[in-house]
Amino acid sequence: MNYTDLATHLLDLGERLQKHSRKIEGDKVGRSAKKLAQAVERFEDTLDSFLASRKSGELLLETMLRSPSAKRHLTVELLKKGLREVAGKRLQAEELSAARKEFVEVLHANEKGSQGGKFLRAAFEEAACVEPGGKDKVSLQREFVRLGGLSDEEYEKEIVKRTFGELRRLAATNGIKFTDRTGKQRLMALIRRFAIRAAMNISFDE
């Protein structure tokens, strides 16, 4: 059922009730009507609160705070920055859940819920952005494939000229995992192995 169906149902019911209201009698229908009236009242409160929060922008704030992005990107520092920028206030809490509560309360008191929601949305957008690797990455990937196409002798000759730092950069850019304890010889062997694989695997593009 959707809300339009519910609205139609309530309108139909209202019309029938109105039409027969003076003829209805008895405990059974009275008890049921009482329950319905209580449920309608509760629903009205919920609906009014939803519509008010939508109008004031509180809904956007709530949606942002409950979003998957909040789980990943929301920090006390971000909330502090937000409160300072949006309401010119200082956030006191140092723990995330308390900070979150204070953030909402202060914004609510200052009627800045909408701006708070917009601040969080912009912050989450910025946090989700990924900078492209740039030309350096592309050239290191090309170099990797070229190394994979060399014979063992050619590779030996070329690779020994590289500094340890250059090798680490080449390996890291091309997805090779290593640790601080990985030595130069081991790194050269890893680069050789995976460069041959990359050259072979992308050969159908040539």
Partner 1 sequence: MSARVLAFINFKGGVGKTATVINIGATLAKLHRKKVLVVDLDPQSNSSVWLMRPDRWRQHVAKGQRSTFQIFDDALLGKDRFNFDDAVVKGVETWTGFTDLPRLHLLPASVELLRIEDRIHELRAPANYQVLERALGARFKEYDFVLLDCPPNLYSTTKNAVFCADNCVVPYVPDYLSLSGFHVLAEQVAELREKFSGHLPGRRKPNIGALIVSHYRQTGNVFRLAINELEISMANLQAIGLLSQDAVLLEPYVRHCVRVAESTSEHLPVILYAPGSIGAQDYSDLTQNVLNHFDSTK
- In the complex, which residues of this chain contact partner 1 (CB under 8 A)? 1-3, 6, 63-64, 66-69, 71-72, 121, 124-125, 127-130, 132, 138, 141-142, 144-145, 173-177, 194, 197-198, 201-202, 204-206
Between 53 and 67, name the residue whose CB sits nearer to partner 1.
67
Between 54 and 157, name the residue whose CB sits nearer to partner 1.
54
Between 24 and 47, name the residue whose CB sits nearer to partner 1.
47
Minimum distance from CB of 87 to partner 1 (Å)? 23
Minimum distance from CB of 3 to partner 1 (Å)? 7
Minimum distance from CB of 37 to partner 1 (Å)? 21
Written in H, E and C, the secondary structure of 123-190 is: HHHHHHCCCCCHHHHHHHHHHHHHHHCCCHHHHHHHHCCCCHHHHHHHHHHCCCCCCCCCCHHHHHHH
> Hey, what are 87's tokens?
């309401």
Between 83 and 176, name the residue whose CB sits nearer to partner 1.
176
**Distance (Å, whole) CA 141 – CA 148:** 11
The residue whose two tokens read 């509560």 is: 101
Length of the chain in terms of residues written: 206
